[in-house]
Amino acid sequence: MAYKLYFKYGVMGSSKTAQALMTRFNYEQQGYKVLLMKPKIDNRDDKSEKTIIKSRIGLEEEAYAFSLNENLIDTFSKLSEDKNYNVIICDESQFCTAEQIEQFKTLTDKVPVFCYGLKTDFKSNLFEGSKRLIEIADSLTEIKSICECGKKAIINARFIDGIITTTGSVVDIGGDEKYRPLCYSCYKNYINQSKNQ
């Protein structure tokens, strides 16, 4: 039986991580063993030696952190020797490589795979992992959120000292202190304001 690869995406603050943790809870309530994962690059909520997936509303769970050169098929086989996992849930999947997304797709021969993450970076370009997910996932679901003006937010705008920026490294881990979900109109307005300062 073939299972599905799911991509559930939204802007910063749209409850992606909370939904990932609730999906895990629902499966475990039914007796499934869930492998909760995230790329090592996102380590903002980790505690000492433990990798943590933490939502803004306070839900958190320990997870397995993988490197960007790690083969996830091999990792799943190794970790399943002891636990016999039935489901994979990956948070921050935008940071995966295209090859790792393909590995997740291959793993759907054995288990369902749920990927949660951002679709685009602060420049409104697709992340590598998100791009591949859009191309090959069996199910795409937008987790909607709102802009400060009340419209649907689609941009993960990056701010430095209160001023929007469109330059810098694509990967710059942060939260509410650095990023704001904006609609495209507000995004363009902030950019125009920054040019006039």
- pLDDT averaged per 10 residues in sequence order, the chain, 197 residues: 92 87 93 94 56 70 90 95 92 96 97 96 92 97 94 91 77 68 92 76
Q: Where are the domains of the chain?
A: 5-144
pTM here is 0.88
**What mean pLDDT, rounded, does the chain reach?**
87
Inter-residue contact 162 to 190 (CB < 8 Å): no
CA 40/CA 117 separation, integer angstroms? 14
Whether 99 sits among the annotated catalytic residues: the reply is no
Inter-residue contact 43 to 171 (CB < 8 Å): no
The distance in angstroms from the start CA to the end CA of the chain is 59
Catalytically annotated residue among 92, 128, 135, 177 = 92
Out of 1.10.606.20, 3.40.50.10490, 3.40.50.720, 3.40.50.300, the CATH code matching 5-144 is 3.40.50.300
